[in-house]
Structure 1
C-alpha cells in the first residue's frame, strides 16, 4: 500500500525542527509558524487560545496536504505585540490550563478511589 506507516505522523525526523518561524514580508507584525508532526487537534486549540489575546488581530491554521504531517499557523498582531510573543504566550497559557486540568482530574480521582 502507498500509505506511510502510522508512526511517521508523530515522530519528528532527526535533523528536523519541531517549530519553524517565518516572518511575513508584506504585512507588518505577521508571521507563520510551521509545526511538524501535528494535526487539527493542536492547531485548533492553539488558534482558539491565540484568539483570546487582545493583541492578536488574526490567527488561523492550515494543513498543506493530508499526507504532509505538519500545520501552518498564521498570526497577525497589533503593534503592541509580535507574532512570536503571542505564540509563546499562548503556548504558556495552554500549558498552565492543561496542568490545572490534570491536577483537578487527579484530585477527583483520589476522592473517587477513597470512596470505593
Structure 2
C-alpha cells in the first residue's frame, strides 16, 4: 500500500516507486527458477495504465514468459483495489522484465534444469 511519502506533488504515486515494487515482485519466480542469485538486466516494457493513489491496495501477479540458458523473462500485472466503501479493482500497470542468474562474482551462470 503506497503511503504519502511515495506521492508526487499532485498526490499520485511516483512511477519509480511502482517500478521498484514491480521489480521486487517480478524477481520472485526467477529466483526460484534460478535457485539462487539473480539480477535485473532489462525492463523490456512498462505501461502505466492508470494513476495509483495513496491508500490503493496493490496486488502484483507475475507469470514466466520465457526461460533461457541464463535468463528468465516475466510479465507482471499490477491491480489496485480502491474505495473501501464500494470496492473497485482496476489494472494500473503491466511490465515485462528480464532477470539473469548470476554467480557469487556477479557473472552470468546457467539456470539449473527444472525439478520434477
Question: Which category describes the TM-score, using the shorter chain as reference length?
Answer: under 0.3
Q: Which has the higher contact order (CA 8 A, sep 6+)?
A: 2
Say which one has the larger Rg: 1
TM-score (norm 2): 0.25
Q: Which has the higher helix share?
A: 1
Q: Which has the higher strand share?
A: 2
TM-score (norm 1): 0.25
